[in-house]
Structure 1
Amino acid sequence: MVEAMMKEKNQPTVWKMIYLARRNPVLAAADFPQAWREHSALGRQCKNVGQRVKAVAQCSRQLPADAPALSTDYDGVNLMVLADREAGAAIWDDAETLAIMRPDEPRVFADYVRNFSVLCRQQVLYERMAADAAAALLPQKAQVMLIGFLQRSDEWQGAATSPILCPAQWRMGGLNQASHIVCNTLDEKAPAGYGYRYIVEWWFDTVEQALSAAQSLDVSGAAQDGEFGWGEHVFILTEVTHTRP
C-alpha cells in the first residue's frame, strides 16, 4: 500500500553542497556526463573527500527541454551530502583536493567548482513510498528530477531556522505527481550569481510526469511573489547519470 507523508519536524540534520554547473564549452553536451563521472572518480584518490562526503548524485540535463519555464543555460546539478556542516568549508582547503581534483575542473566545467557551489540544509517536505521502503538520502541512478533554484538574491538573507511546510505552489499543476519533494535552504552567503534562497527537488517516477510538471509551471509575475514564490529562478529538468557510493 502506498502512503503519503508530509515531513515537518524531527528530521535528522542533513548538510548538502549543491552546485549548478555549466560545462566547459569545448565539450559537447552529450559528452558532459562522462567527463563529469571521470572527474568524480578522482575523489577516490582523496582520503579526506571520502571522509567528508557521504554521497553524491550527478543530475545531468539530458531530457528534452521543451517547456518555456526550463533553462538551457546550465548542464547539470550536483547534490553532495556532507558528513557535517564543517566539511562544507574544509573541503575547499584540503591539500589532496587542491592537488588532484581542482586542476581537472577546467577540463569539465566553465569555472572552478567553488565559484558556483552553495551550502544548504536539507528538509524532506513530501515523500510517497511503500510502507516497508526506506527513504533515500539522495536520488539513485536514472531518477528523473525537476530542480528549481528559487528566489535569487546577491544580498545574503540569513539562514532559515524553522521547518517549512510544503507550500501549495510547490504542489500545483503537474508538480503534484512528484513522488518526493526536497527543499534545500541556503545556509551561508553564496558566490555572486548563485544566491538562491531555496533549491527544490521534485522526483518523478517517469519522464512523462517530469515533462508534464515542467510544462505546467506557472512563471507569471504573480508566481514570483510571496515567501515561497519562484522569484528570480532557474528550473532544470535532469536525470541522475552518476551516483556514489
Structure 2
Amino acid sequence: MIFPDNRYRQLRAIQAEDFHTCFYCGCIATEFDFAPPKAHWQSYQYRQLSADNLQVPACKECVALLKPCTMGLVQQRREWVHTKIAAKYKKAIGVYLKWNEDELEELDFSLHHSIAAGLKLGEESHRRSNFQGFSHEIDGSKVADVLPAAMPIVLFDKQFDSLKDAILYVCKNYPITQPKLVERLAEQGNNIEAVVMEIQEEQEVAQFQRQLKIQSAAFAKKHNQSARFVSNEVERYLDKELAYSIAEALDLLYEERVKHYR
C-alpha cells in the first residue's frame, strides 16, 4: 500500500469513472507522481520556486517517463509526458494517421495483422498523448466540474474534433495521399492548414509550368523560335511584372523581340 506524503496535497478524481485513472494519459493509475519530485521538494521550498505540491494518480509508464523531469507544475509535467509518449510511439501513431480500417481488407494476412496492431497501438498512443485529464478535487476542494475540451483542429473555418478527421477530409478533397499528408504534417508541426496552403501553391506552380510549356511551344512553332528561348523570355517578363499573364507576356515578346526580326 502506498501512503500519502504530507508535504503534498492530494489530487483526486470527482467522477467515479475516473477513479484509479492516470491524470496524464488516461490509463489505469497504479502509483503516484509528485509535482515537484520528492528529491527536489526541498530545493523548491528553499528557492521559493513555483510548484503545485501535488500528489497525482499516474500509471507506471508515465511515472517512468517523468523520472528525468524536475518540473514542479502538473501542467508542465503533463506536457512532458505527452511529448515523450508521442516520441516513443511515433511509428505507431504514424500508422494510425496514415491507415484506415477499411483499407485492411485489401492486405494479405501478415500485413493485415501488422497494420491492424499498429492502428490499435497508434490510436491508443495518440489518445494518451492528447489526454485532457479529468474533473478533480484537491484536499476536498473541487477544482473543476468540467475540464476545458481539447482545442478543435481548424482548417479554413471548418472545425474537426481530431487530427485524424481533418486528415481524412483533406485527403478526400485534395489530391494528396494519406501517407504523404502525414509526412508533410510532421514537417509543418501538425499545422494542417499550412500544409494545405503549401499543396495549393505547389499545384498552382505546376499548373503555371504546364501552361507555360504548352503556350511557349505553340508560340515557338508559329514564329519559328526556340521553345526554351520563348519560355525563358516569358519568365523574364513575368519577373518584371507579376500582373502579366502568360499570353500578355507572349504578346510583349512578339512586339519587342520577334516582330521586327522576321
Superposed pair shares fold, TM > 0.5: no
TM-score by length of 2: 0.19
Higher strand share: 1
Point out the structure with max Rg over C-alpha.
2
Higher relative contact order (CA 8 A, sep 6+): 1
Question: Normalized against structure 1, the TM-score is what?
Answer: 0.20
Bigger proportion of residues as helix: 2
